[in-house]
Amino acid sequence: MKLLPSYLAVGLLWLLHWLPLRWLRALGAGLGRLLYRFGRERRGVVLTNLRLCFPELGEAEREALARRHFVAFAQSALDRSLGWWAPQDRLERIIRIRGIEHLTERGDRPTIMLCPHFVGLDAGATRISMYLTACSVFSQQKNPVFNRLLYHGRTRFNPALLLSRKEGMRKIVKSMKDGYPFYYLPDMDFGRKESIFVPFFGVPAATIPALSRLVRLTGAQVVPCIARMVPDGYEVEVMPPWDNFPGDSVEADTEFMNRFIENQVLRMPEQYYWVHRRFKTRPPGEQKVYP
């Protein structure tokens, strides 16, 4: 009985995937407005992030951007139902991709797909998974119903190799050397233990320097994959591999990565994952920034 609400929620999501996209987006827009109004804690996180990253904006401008973010965030959450259950031909129409040759024609060199946290992240992952089998880190969910659903979504089109974060870098390196491209999400705050502080929009941000270290260990190429939500679906851009990477140091590489993410955020600021406490971990002596 404890899991009954979870099964009901999954059933509702399954029903939603039958809707035309414009109806699903309309529902998402309404949900996003409700989340902004009543989600006081997350609203505070988003507004704090925007204040730190865009100090040049006025309060009204930041609030308007936050409202647009909550709408995009909620729309993408409902759109996940399509990735879990919609037929492949429908997904191919809704999620367009360009530059996939940078992944399918990569040769023998290991590959890291650099995928920052935009709201279209899951749509991009679904579309890319139609072309190749990759490895990525999978965080086990406490709720077994949603854990199975998320696992199914990751492995629906190809049997992806999902690694636990507890298995560490050694398992990732082995998987890459075995030929699995690594789907890497680079921009989360996982605490002080394995992070270094590098600027993100001019604010010191605890950032795991795994990208630089993995490239140095494996000789991998870095292929950025950016997913943008558009009115009629998503556009996924697979970019050419980075040149001259890694650079002089792990610190310089990590700062280069953050600057790249900043440039992508400026292309679609409402679609970045501002609900995450990106600046939760502060340098020694600095005060907490979130309410």
89 CB contacts (<8 Å, ≥6 apart)? none
221-231: per-residue pLDDT in tens?
999 999 999 99
Average pLDDT on 112-129 reads 96
Average pLDDT across the chain, whole number: 93
pLDDT of residue 154: 83
Average pLDDT on 56-70 reads 98
Distance from the Cα of residue 114 to its chain's centroid:
10
- In this structure, how many other beta carbons lie within 10 angstroms of the beta carbon of residue 43? 20
97-108: per-residue pLDDT in tens?
999 999 998 788
Higher pLDDT, 168 or 284: 284
How far, in Å, CA of 36 to CA of 16, rounded? 22
HSE on the CB side for 269, CA within 13 Å?
17
260-288: per-residue pLDDT in tens?
999 999 999 999 999 999 999 999 989 99
pLDDT of residue 271: 98
Helix (H) or strand (E) holding 72: helix 59-85
109 CB contacts (<8 Å, ≥6 apart)? 219, 220, 221
How far, in Å, CA of 150 to CA of 143, rounded? 11
Structure tokens at 283: 């340098």
In terms of DSSP bridges, do strands 221-230 and 111-114 run parallel, antiparallel, or are they unpaired? Answer: parallel
Average pLDDT on 39-68 reads 97
pLDDT at residue 155 greater than cutoff 70: yes
Average pLDDT on 19-27 reads 98
The residue type of 238 is: V
pLDDT of residue 158: 84
Average pLDDT on 67-93 reads 97
Higher pLDDT, 160 or 66: 66
pLDDT of residue 205: 97
pLDDT of residue 282: 96
pLDDT of residue 1: 57
